[in-house]
Amino acid sequence: MKHKFIVPLMGALLLGACDQAKAPAESPADFVSRIEREGNELAKESYAAAWVRSTYITQDTAVLAAKAGERGLAFESAVVKQAKQYKGAEMDERTARAIELMLRGSSAPAPDDAALRTELSEILTNMEGQYGAGKYCNEAGVCRELQELEAVLAQSRDYDELLDVWKGWREVSPPYRKDYQRFVEIANEGAKEFGVKNLAELWTGGYDMPSEEFVVEARRLWEQVKPFYEELHCHVRAKLSETYGADRVPLDQPIPAHLLGNMWSQTWDNIYDIMEPYKGVGQLDVTKALVDQGYDEMKMTKTAEGFFTSLGLPSLPESFYQNSMIKKPRDRNVVCHASAWDMGGGSDPRIKQCVEINEEQFGTLHHELGHIYYYQMYKDQPSYFKGGAHDGFHEAIGDTIQLSMTPSYLQQKGLIGAVTDSYEATINKQMKLALSKIAFLPFSKMIDEWRWKVFSGEIAPEDYNASWWKLREEYQGLRAPVARSEADFDAGAKYHVAGNTPYTRYFLSFIMQFQFHKALCAAAGYEGPLNECSIYNNKVAGAKLGAMLAMGQSKPWPDAMEALTGQRQMDGSAIIDYFAPLNSWLKDQNKDRACGW
């Protein structure tokens, strides 16, 4: 969901140098083999540079990362140029699949121009670095980094304090607003060299279907779950109005964006104390248990690994623990945004996460290890098939595991006491999860809606911020708590915009994880309410999951979907099944309210 991952797949991150003018005529199969060989070798340098840049933010590491990125862009440009020559040629199915993946390109394709490649690489490196080093200093001279600011939003219920922190973080992004505009210009030129109109078409064209069909498909999935979100929004707004007053949270307007416990209002579970339906029933204070039982960053990570190994999946290599960064260093700036890294094509998997001892970070570790286990299971595939069936698959795996972190599982791990089995406890648990999972859906949909419109030119640079808030209101029913202008760059205050990570993958993953969960529970032989199922320690479910992961992206994603679920479409109906008790409860709560915005 919230986490960038990196995979060395051909056409998405091919790194090195390729002198295509001197390349001899090759068969398609020979071409694919050569590119895999050169790409694998040259990727090592780029991954090392990117890792050091993320874990040691300095001017020197920026130079190294930018230069490595520049070589990667040059390699990709040359590969695409030759790959186009094989369109229509006779070749075997696997070779055709590999070349198709190459032609999908990356999220930041560079034009075949050395100066523009250099400029693009420097822009991307600098935007991510500025975000990672960002902090807000208030009028009293107290400076806080993002993690500290997020803690205030999660814990404080002081309207003015929340507003100060919310505004403060958004001072980080305006300095690179012009850089972002220039990135769009250069990457659009690069996209045209792939044979598409703009970067939006390139991004939406990576799902084994025509670009325009994918846009329709994403909209269909949103419409499946939108009514449930609207019920949740209506109830949350009513409770916030009770808490902060109807003058600050009117019942007929969008919700002020700083009151939802998260810097970007993407998940709302941090305001569970306000939203808890039945006070004190079935409380699951996992954070307290982690602290009281002396969990540290390593023990939390090992516990997360234990869920995957309970399914029959392999243990992680010792190098994972030697080379990962799971604790924030005290002596330097790092990018704390959690991410999984496939260094060495499966031989050196790592995560980068500033782990804190709390329930949210415990869940995040399971999410990141979902990526790591995907890497491990497809590591024997050729490099051009090392990737998720589509990018949403990669994001969905760890979150699918999180759905099995039920009260019964947590009790087995000694993290909660006796489980309260009652209707009230079920509604409380579902409310907490919905504030995370359902609240996230429109946010994850609108970020790329905004970027697609920016890339296509539908949103002009002078309208970046106004259009951002128009979409946030349309999809989420939220509004800026204070007046915003085009001097601001509120989209850039989100890591995935500054770091240029496509976001639709998270929307798709939040749909599919419930679909996966339902299928795995069926494979495990579970009978009962879907929200109570845990596949922990079930080797049959684990074998089914592992087999799908091992496919990588060697087949179109409907084949991978069918292998796991028996379906060939993404489907949001499992969400409605899972949350059926809460959906009914919310409708009852809202029956006398005027919902909508």
Instruction: Cite the active site residues.
Output: 337-338, 367-368, 371, 395, 496, 506
Rounded to an integer, what distance in angstroms lies between the CA atom of residue 427 and that of residue 400? 20
**3-state SS assignment for residue 563:** helix
DSSP secondary structure string for all residues of 45-98: HHHHHHHHHHHS-SHHHHHHHHHHHHHHHHHHHHHHHHHGGGTT----HHHHHH
DSSP secondary structure string for all residues of 228-289: HHHHHHHHHHHHHHHHH-TTTS-TTSPEEGGGSSSTTSS--GGGHHHH-SSTTTT---HHHH
H-type alpha helices, 173-210? 177-193, 199-204
Give the C-alpha distances (Å, rounded to integers) separating 102 from 36, 470, 500. 11, 35, 19
Rounded to an integer, what distance in angstroms lies between the CA atom of residue 590 and that of residue 236? 10
Rg of the chain over all Cα atoms, to the nearest angstrom? 23
Rounded to an integer, what distance in angstroms lies between the CA atom of residue 515 and that of residue 518? 5
Strand order in 4-6's β-sheet?
A: 4-6, 339-343, 348-352
Query: Are residues 135 and 92 in contact, defined by beta-carbon separation less than 8 angstroms?
Result: no
b/e sequence 506-535, b meaning 16+ C-beta within 10 Å:
bbbbbbbbbbbbbbbbbbbebeeebbebbb
Rounded to an integer, what distance in angstroms lies between the CA atom of residue 149 and that of residue 262? 10
Which residues pair with residue 256 across a beta bridge? 479
Rounded to an integer, what distance in angstroms lies between the CA atom of residue 504 and that of residue 508? 6
Query: Burial, 44: exposed, middle or buried (Cβ in 10 Å; 0-12, 13-18, 19+)?
Result: middle
Output the six-digit token pair for 25.
């005529």
Give the C-alpha distances (Å, rounded to integers) separating 595 from 71, 225, 238, 481. 53, 16, 9, 20
Query: Are residues 549 and 490 in contact, defined by beta-carbon separation less than 8 angstroms?
Result: no
Query: Are residues 120 and 132 in contact, defined by beta-carbon separation less than 8 angstroms?
Result: no
